[in-house]
Structure 1
Amino acid sequence: MDHFFRRKRLGLLKSLLSLSLVFVSFVMIQKLKLAENVGDKQPNDADWCVPECFTFKKGIVAKPAPESSVSTVRNRELDAQRSSNGTPTHWDAQVLNCSEDASVKTKDWFQRLDSRFHQFVLRRHCRYFPMLINHPEKCTDGDVHLLMVVKSVIEQHDRREAVRKTWGKEQTINGRKIKTLFLLGKPSTGKDDKNLQKLVEFEDSLYGDILQWDFMDTFFNLTLKEVNFLKWFHIYCPSVQFIFKGDDDVFVNTQNLLELIDFKVDEDKVGDLFVGDTIAKATPIRNRQSKYYIPKELYDKPYPPYVGGGGFLMSSVVVRKLFMASEKQELYPIDDVFLGMCLQKLAISPQMHPGFRTFGITRRRVSTMNNEPCFYKSLIMVHKLSAPDLIKMWNVVQSKDLVCAQRSSI
């Protein structure tokens, strides 16, 4: 009898979970519609469209926005130029067909390897994936001075909304055009992936700022976001000048970032520009409980200098060099270390800048300094903030009522 009631309670619990998911999905859709209305956007088919009429079906890439005749001619000229030097003019990874490398299983080191790394190693040769959502027009809308590229996952809609309302807002400042893109994979299995996919497709129909590839959005796959974006940028962004790449839970002082770019341009130091919170003389973490644990069988030497992945600035020259180097570099499960390996191949040293705070203003989370607006006003990037805290801090820092005695340093 107890077994019967346990089964009955389990069935009721599953029903409640399903209803909760439906309710959350409904609330997210309403928030997205509200955001669209606040933005004074014109009505479109997505306002009333049922799920079956979304255009972003699996394997189908979003069409670019209509272009003016001038930009169309310019884009054709760029396509011809890229074709002549061997650069693809479109995303050419159309079919997902990557099986395990069975030969690895016979290696002694693989048999000793921690099992959580098996799938990564067996498919480490799988590099480029089909695109589910693409926006090739993003970089061709005139000369883009700064491209904000943000790593995110489908469930973190609130973080993307906060970024769009703050430092990731697309705008033109003193003639310098700023554009924003969010990088996504697919929702992991078991997370109601079909409904989540519909939600992100609807979100993109409102904002048009999402790039999505056909691989699972897991920690080990963050490196896939790096290499797929590098290739995407190489194909579609011939005239972008600078790229800020970061997480969706950071604060970025856009004005200070632009000032840093101006300084580097004035000093003629953009050819090898890769700047952030540099980590040097680091070694792999051997603690099995750590998120960043790496077994000796996978990597057994010190890391090259690398920049914390919370946020960093690069010139387009460096991004193109990184793409070439990344194609010859074996994938590594920690994405910012992987970029450090590519930089090492290029003999480029990442530059340390105190304005980038990967670990917060101070590593002591309870410190009041982590909530002091005058520090945020003087820094470039601070990691990490929740979506409400990001919006709150942004509004305080932008306020004319904020008075700081001087530019703060720590």
Structure 2
Amino acid sequence: MARRCCRLRNILICVCTPCCCLTLLYSYAIITIYLHMNSMVLRHIAMVSPNLASPHFVAAGASSNGSSPSVPKTFWEQHLRSDALWNRLQRHVDHRFNPIIRKEKSDMLLERSSSDESLLHQSYFEVTSMASVRENFERLPQQVREFASSMHKRNYPILIQPDGECGAQSEQEKEPPLILFAIKSTALNFRNRRVIRQTWGRVGWVEGQRINSSDGDMGGGYIRRVFLLGKETPEDLGVDISHLLRAESKRHGDILQWDFKDTFFNLTLKDVLFWSWFSHHCSKPLFVLKGDDDVFVNTPKLISYLQDQLEKHRSRNTLHEFMVGEVIGSALPNRVRRSKYFIPESFYRGLYPMYAGGGGVVYSGELTRRLHNISKTIHLFPIDDVYVGMCMIRLNAQPIHHPAFLTFDFTEKEEAQPCSYHTILLVHKRSPSEVVELWADLKDTREQCQGVPLRAVKKIKQKATPSPSV
């Protein structure tokens, strides 16, 4: 009996062993083929559309570690590891929005507006409490160190704000305003603000102007206006001018001032706090022009241009991502220590995203509210227009380049041409006296230059270097 069982066992082993081996080999082949095909598909997606393959904003230097999966890369990620402060802070936040870790949909995570600011605050203190980070922090240049020491703060109280809804407006306003001029200014720039109010930034109805000779009805639109200010102390200025600002606000109703120090690196705060204020107080403006108080704007042609864009983007359902200006691509951080744009490698490593020059840019009211929400997932960056570009990348949106936005000015030869200022929508920089002269000349030559087209895209090559890197 035992001999018979042993013989049966040997037979089963001889028959089953090859079958089991074949089954395992077959399973291994199927898994290998599947993984290879999946890898090919992902590689194809990445080649066709990097944004689709990786819709998340990631600080340069993000990488996997032993405890958590890697965050999807972006096109400017250049380093496998980075000890730069901003990169470490952002990497800490980005793991929170990793779709491998989080099962929710990416878009819902990225555009959620509930408690994301607390996440930024938490990540700041968790990262900066590390001994190695504190040591590197102390070696940052003073200007950068001052910014970094308060980059987790965003809840600054408003000191002065317009009485009316969403800035200064005309009493005769009969339809939703086409555009809100949101102009970055400083406390002492009284003259710049006065000239803007008298010229291109006057509130109320503005008639459009043909942007080429084939245009029909010129149309028009209502303008609103607000000036964005931080705070400058009497110690900094040598005099207390707070009463003058309050009087200016009472007279014109267009001052929006927050209680933070008005410095170059804090211009980013003006964007973030303005987006928040706009989201809570401005339900009507269709567009926002965010610019400096030393720009000149061809308001009549801007009105006609935006009316045309409004119709086009509404028909395509793309108004929620509309931004136009002078677009800068392939930009690098400025590493020249004496430059005001200087960003050391110990603070940030990597490329800059594509962005529109901050001297003057236009975006839709819908995009303004989306920028407010997405900014709660991105740590502040010292260069304001670069930070806006980071927000746009994370929204999977791109600014539109238009040569009629001259944040780097004309060439001398081009400016000397007749009707040159009728070919642009915005130019930077101009003094108050120059703005007055240009506005008068624009009105005097309107009939003569009627129908002169805007600067054409095909005539101007897109700039590859940004203002911060020169």
Report the TM-score, using the length of structure 2 for normalisation.
0.62
**Which of the numbers 149, 155, 159 marks the counterpart of 2:188?**
155
Q: CA deviation at 1:209?
A: 0.5
Q: CA deviation at 1:358?
A: 0.4
Give the match for residue 138 of structure 1: 165
**Which of the numbers 127, 140, 151 marks the counterpart of 1:124?**
151
In structure 2, how many angstroms separate the alpha carbons of the residues matched to 1:150 and 1:319?
Answer: 15
Q: CA deviation at 1:86?
A: 8.6
Q: CA deviation at 1:119?
A: 1.7
The aligned runs of 1:63-102 (5 Å cut-off) are none
**Which of the numbers 222, 233, 243 marks the counterpart of 2:278?**
233
The aligned runs of 1:4-403 (5 Å cut-off) are 103=129, 107=133, 108-135=135-162, 137-139=164-166, 143-173=176-206, 176-188=221-233, 190-192=235-237, 195-268=240-313, 269-362=318-411, 367=412, 369-370=414-415, 374-400=419-445, 403=448
Amino acid corresponding to residue 262 of structure 1 in structure 2: Q
In structure 2, how many angstroms separate the alpha carbons of the residues matched to 1:129 and 1:371?
Answer: 45
Kindly tell me: are residues 282 and 401 of structure 1, through their superposed partners in 2, closer, same or farther at Cα, counting changes over 3 Å?
Answer: closer
In structure 1, how many angstroms separate the alpha carbons of the residues matched to 2:404 and 2:446?
Answer: 23
Kindly tell me: are residues 351 and 403 of structure 1, through their superposed partners in 2, closer, same or farther at Cα, counting changes over 3 Å?
Answer: same
Conservation of the 8 A alpha-carbon contact between 1:128 and 1:224: no
In structure 1, how many angstroms separate the alpha carbons of the residues matched to 2:136 and 2:240?
Answer: 40
In structure 2, how many angstroms separate the alpha carbons of the residues matched to 1:131 and 1:408?
Answer: 39
Percent of counterpart pairs with the same letter?
36
In structure 2, how many angstroms separate the alpha carbons of the residues matched to 1:193 and 1:131?
Answer: 23
Kindly tell me: are residues 371 and 343 of structure 1, through their superposed partners in 2, closer, same or farther at Cα, counting changes over 3 Å?
Answer: same
Q: CA deviation at 1:245?
A: 0.9
Kindly tell me: are residues 86 and 313 of structure 1, through their superposed partners in 2, closer, same or farther at Cα, counting changes over 3 Å?
Answer: closer
Is the partner of 2:181 in helix, strand or coil? strand
Kindly tell me: are residues 190 and 342 of structure 1, through their superposed partners in 2, closer, same or farther at Cα, counting changes over 3 Å?
Answer: same
In structure 2, how many angstroms separate the alpha carbons of the residues matched to 1:105 and 1:155?
Answer: 41
Q: CA deviation at 1:128?
A: 2.2
Q: CA deviation at 1:130?
A: 0.3
Aligned-pair RMSD on alpha carbons? 2.4
Q: CA deviation at 1:408?
A: 6.4
Q: In the TM superposition, what whole-angstrom CA distance separates every residue of 1:54-87 from its partner, at most 9, and x where no partner exists? A: xxxxxxxxxxxxxxxxxxxxxxxxxxxxxxx999
Q: Which runs of 4+ in 1 moved over 4 A?
A: none
Q: In the TM superposition, what whole-angstrom CA distance separates every residue of 1:18-59 from its partner, at most 9, and x where no partner exists? A: xxxxxxxxxxxxxxxxxxxxxxxxxxxxxxxxxxxxxxxxxx
In structure 1, how many angstroms separate the alpha carbons of the residues matched to 2:336 and 2:228?
Answer: 29
Kindly tell me: are residues 245 and 371 of structure 1, through their superposed partners in 2, closer, same or farther at Cα, counting changes over 3 Å?
Answer: farther
Q: CA deviation at 1:401?
A: 7.1
In structure 1, how many angstroms separate the alpha carbons of the residues matched to 2:226 and 2:142?
Answer: 34
Conservation of the 8 A alpha-carbon contact between 2:220 and 2:303: no
Kindly tell me: are residues 385 and 312 of structure 1, through their superposed partners in 2, closer, same or farther at Cα, counting changes over 3 Å?
Answer: same
Conservation of the 8 A alpha-carbon contact between 2:195 and 2:436: yes
Kindly tell me: are residues 256 and 308 of structure 1, through their superposed partners in 2, closer, same or farther at Cα, counting changes over 3 Å?
Answer: same
Conservation of the 8 A alpha-carbon contact between 1:104 and 1:122: no
Q: CA deviation at 1:348?
A: 0.5
Kindly tell me: are residues 197 and 260 of structure 1, through their superposed partners in 2, closer, same or farther at Cα, counting changes over 3 Å?
Answer: same
Any unmatched runs of 5+ in structure 2? 1-111, 115-123, 170-174, 207-218, 460-470
In structure 2, how many angstroms separate the alpha carbons of the residues matched to 1:286 and 1:305?
Answer: 18
Is the partner of 1:138 in helix, strand or coil? coil
In structure 1, how many angstroms separate the alpha carbons of the residues matched to 2:410 and 2:130?
Answer: 44
Amino acid corresponding to residue 321 of structure 1 in structure 2: R
Q: CA deviation at 1:329?
A: 0.7
Q: Give the stretch that moved more between structures: 270-279 or 169-178.
A: 169-178
Conservation of the 8 A alpha-carbon contact between 2:164 and 2:253: no
In structure 1, how many angstroms separate the alpha carbons of the residues matched to 2:418 and 2:131?
Answer: 53
Q: CA deviation at 1:266?
A: 2.4
Q: CA deviation at 1:368?
A: 5.1
Amino acid corresponding to residue 103 of structure 1 in structure 2: S
Q: CA deviation at 1:294?
A: 0.4
Conservation of the 8 A alpha-carbon contact between 1:104 and 1:110: no
Q: CA deviation at 1:177?
A: 1.7
Q: CA deviation at 1:371?
A: 5.6
Kindly tell me: are residues 196 and 373 of structure 1, through their superposed partners in 2, closer, same or farther at Cα, counting changes over 3 Å?
Answer: farther
Higher Cα Rg: structure 1 or 2?
Answer: 2
Q: In the TM superposition, what whole-angstrom CA distance separates every residue of 1:190-243 from its partner, at most 9, and x where no partner exists? A: 234662211111111111111000011111111110110000001001222111
In structure 2, how many angstroms separate the alpha carbons of the residues matched to 1:334 and 1:395?
Answer: 34
Is the partner of 2:266 in helix, strand or coil? helix
Q: Which has the higher contact order (CA 8 A, sep 6+)?
A: 2
Is the partner of 2:386 in helix, strand or coil? helix
In structure 1, how many angstroms separate the alpha carbons of the residues matched to 2:232 and 2:417?
Answer: 36
Report the TM-score, using the length of structure 1 for normalisation.
0.71
Q: CA deviation at 1:372?
A: 5.1
Kindly tell me: are residues 168 and 401 of structure 1, through their superposed partners in 2, closer, same or farther at Cα, counting changes over 3 Å?
Answer: closer
Q: CA deviation at 1:150?
A: 0.3
